[in-house]
Amino acid sequence: MEKVLLSLGHGFSARALARLLVPQGWTVIGTTRKPEKFDQLREDGVTPLLWPCNLETALQDVTHVLTSVAPDAEGDPVLRIGKAAIVAAAPHLAWVGYLSTTGVYGDHNGGWVDETAELNPATIRGQRRVQAEQEWLNIEGLPVHVFRLAGIYGPGRGPFEKLRKGVAQRVIKKNQVFSRTHVDDIAQVLAASIAKPNPGRVYNVCDDDPAPPQDVIEYAANLLGMAPPPAVAFEDADMSPMARSFYSDSKCVRNDRIKDELGVTLMHPTYKATLRAMLEDERANAD
């Protein structure tokens, strides 16, 4: 049977998954609001589809669905326009993945959380994610899997770009710690879940090495041979409201479930190893 993935909001993480699936013979359909992205999608072996679209038609031959679309003030945009079509398609879908965020846990003052922790988001974005997760999980008969992603980095995204652009800051806030994940580890977790569906399950996707953000910036600067940016107190930092909101949460996220249930071995288990590998890849591709 042909395997067909409909990727709704085909972005950074979904592109990494497509790089795994397309060589295996999958058909991947990716939605975008921007027609100018069609050529890039085709270069990736992905069939482009302009969003919004008629989901009833789009889902006809689909076996798997991944949604990366963030909720807005009115709820989940996919379910708002296409819930009836998704409900109707549920019987022939083998797997549905919803990309969420570890922001749903809220602030734990640097303490550890796993998938059983209480959801107490401090931000409006986190609160919207909790509601969206539940709306997807509550669709009867739909094989939904929720993936709570930590801060994402990968090619073209991460501290190196900020340092090179001169916008990186070493923001200091007491007890502040973040978990992170490389986009290729997100892709392998999604692929492992597709191979071993467990509808209704929630997975944290992060590395083994939560760390203060200023440590990551300093290490990246050292790798680049640059002087680290000066330390600045959180209260004095020049940050956008969205960037500042990330600092309202401090927690270390456990990832045992992706290892124990899905058999995942992280390719990028620590931020130091990840940054070294990213820089090595950059230099190899530049040669």
Domain 4-154+180-207+254-267 sits in CATH at 3.40.50.720
- pLDDT at site 222: 97
Whether the model clears a pTM of 0.85, i.e. scores above it, the answer is yes
pLDDT tens figures, 30-81: 999 999 999 999 999 999 999 999 999 999 999 999 999 999 999 999 999 9
The dihedral built from the CA positions of residue 171, 114, 100 and 164, taken in this order, carries a sign that is positive
200 three-class SS: coil
pLDDT, mean of residues 16-33: 98
pLDDT tens figures, 133-150: 999 999 999 999 999 999
Strand order, beta sheet including 4-8: 47-50, 27-32, 4-8, 64-67, 95-101, 144-149, 202-205
Average pLDDT, the chain: 95
pLDDT tens figures, 109-134: 999 999 999 999 988 999 999 999 99
- pLDDT above 70 for 5: yes
- pLDDT at site 275: 96
Element (H, E) at 127: helix 124-137
In DSSP notation, 65-111 reads EEE-PPPBTTB-HHHHHHHHHHHHHGGG-SEEEEEEEGGGG---TT-
- pLDDT at site 242: 83
**pLDDT tier for residue 245 given thresholds of 50, 70 and 90:** confident
pLDDT tens figures, 155-180: 989 999 999 999 999 999 999 999 99
